[in-house]
Structure 1
């Protein structure tokens, strides 16, 4: 499918533990300065963190909506406790905003209600996407591990449906009932002392050879590298992509959003934007390997690969 429509830009939920004022001020600035149309917010990784952001949620939503942003609320990615189950039920029952499901346990409650599917739900083919759409989903953010071929096939099979791609941020790879982040500091999950807040961009892990490997974020395991698809946007837009998602990192996300918007609008090419992005988020490796059917941590430049239409 080829389309002239420009994808909208979206911002996913903050996966990391930021203190309440930092979380609030981040979204206030997004509301006032970032060229994003959709914002998904809410605790996704660990229910113990909710009390940091909850006092500020109403003010953040009001500020975002006053700026014309469309707000979606995220469910938890793993529900293991009764209080977590109650939270998801209450969120879905009481929210006047659309809800994004990041765990299959939410789907039964969302059936026949408009909702979106987050990148933590495995949607790998058009049959799964069609089933979710039939149950009420109106947007699916595809998992970051999908190759371009699969993305194109799904868009081609459902050309009138809204597909979103994870285009910036550390990849969410796994989530566990145990907290490796706390364990690495000699603590347990039940007595974690919110130690993950000491690493607002994740705790880097290295191999015995001192090579960057993964990043810990509480109970979540993430990639060490940051997915950056800014130089791949043209082919994705040509395929008919509806939305481009940025996942918040501890860097200037307003500048990141402006760069992605500029590329989508044809004001700057992806290669130049990539160089600028390296200055905005320094010291972190970039990757796009999964999109090009290589290992996820790989970086594939335009000079090393054929156009995605021929991958």
Structure 2
């Protein structure tokens, strides 16, 4: 049976909102695995720390597997200590999002997140030999590359991101803070003003990217529904949903219904559009096109980019 994974919340949500989101996902969402923890910016970590233990307990009581996410970019000694302490003290599996953690984690079994560039089978095999149980492939990979990697490493569990804004880049500097006249060291956590990211437009006023603190994301939301069957046939049996500021329990339920065959792609696309009405959807990378493109296999999709 195909699995659904809920990825980490990339955005800055205040602690109670973050806690309540996961409480609801624990109680209502048909997901199998949940990735927790601050991935984007170490300065945000204190917002969620008071609630992590309660969230983990609630998720595990609901039968979900819990994985703790590591930082995606380690630039400070303090951040290096955070990653080291996480590896040494966590009782849960860890998802590695930066190769600097691979050396620290040594032979401990772990997961590899989509922010690590795994573009071919030899890389996947190397990471598996270093202890990776599961690899979430980078979202910019076209289907042909995904299928080739899956065929090359049939013994490695692979996962594909099928919903959510795509993480494109991460920087030591904070463009989000700069856009509001602040600097990273005195950002005042302005990224929290946009719980779904800060949209950026070109000089021609066309939607372009979304800023999320030090992270740059796509302005469109990846949506792979018609593509699920071919991914399954290629050997992919785990699919990741990246949290957005919308009804994620509804999103998860629609994907579960799609995987079970109780709804078709056209209906599922329309339902997800209703659950996330502000989003423009895309699937271009999967089809070897520009990432923001929508390659339609459905008859109508008013939410496409």
User: Normalised by the shorter chain, which TM-score bucket?
Assistant: over 0.9
Matches within 5 A, 1:268-307: 268-302=263-297
1:216 aligns with 2:211: yes
Q: Deviations over 1:145-194 (max 9, x none)?
A: 00000111111112222100011000000000000000000011000000
1:114 aligned residue: 109
2:9 aligned residue: 14
Aligned to 1:190, what secondary structure does the other structure show? Answer: helix
Aligned to 2:122, what secondary structure does the other structure show? Answer: helix
Q: Please tell me the root mean square deviation across aligned C-alpha atoms, in Å.
A: 0.9
Bigger relative contact order, structure 1 or 2, given CA contacts below 8 A and separation 6+?
1
User: Which whole-Å CA distance do the structure 1 matches of 2:253 and 2:240 have between them?
Assistant: 13
1:252 aligns with 2:254: no
1:47 aligns with 2:36: no
1:84 aligns with 2:79: yes
- Stretches of structure 1 that go unaligned for 5 or more consecutive residues are 1-5, 305-311
Q: 1:237: Cα distance to partner?
A: 1.1
Check conservation: 1:232, 1:270, Cα contact below 8 A.
Answer: no
User: Which whole-Å CA distance do the structure 2 matches of 1:205 and 1:279 have between them?
Assistant: 24
Which has the higher mean CA deviation after the structures are superposed, 293-302 or 155-164?
155-164
TM-score normalised per structure 1: 0.95
Check conservation: 2:283, 2:294, Cα contact below 8 A.
Answer: yes
1:265 aligns with 2:260: yes
How many corresponding residue pairs? 299
- 1:195 aligned residue (170, 182, 190): 190
1:226 aligned residue: 221
Matches within 5 A, 1:19-34: 19-34=14-29
Check conservation: 1:144, 1:290, Cα contact below 8 A.
Answer: yes
Q: Deviations over 1:195-216 (max 9, x none)?
A: 0000000000001111100000
1:66 aligned residue: 61
2:89 aligned residue: 94
User: Which whole-Å CA distance do the structure 2 matches of 1:199 and 1:273 have between them?
Assistant: 27
Q: 1:284: Cα distance to partner?
A: 1.5
Check conservation: 2:265, 2:298, Cα contact below 8 A.
Answer: no
Check conservation: 2:176, 2:198, Cα contact below 8 A.
Answer: yes
Q: 1:303: Cα distance to partner?
A: 6.3
Q: 1:44: Cα distance to partner?
A: 0.2
Which has the higher mean CA deviation after the structures are superposed, 295-304 or 244-253?
295-304
**Which 4+ residue blocks in structure 1 deviate beyond 2 angstroms?**
none
- 2:155 aligned residue (142, 160, 163): 160
- Stretches of structure 2 that go unaligned for 5 or more consecutive residues are 300-305
Aligned to 2:199, what secondary structure does the other structure show? Answer: strand
1:148 aligns with 2:163: no
User: Which whole-Å CA distance do the structure 1 matches of 2:108 and 2:15 have between them?
Assistant: 31
Check conservation: 1:167, 1:245, Cα contact below 8 A.
Answer: yes
1:174 aligns with 2:169: yes
Q: 1:119: Cα distance to partner?
A: 0.2
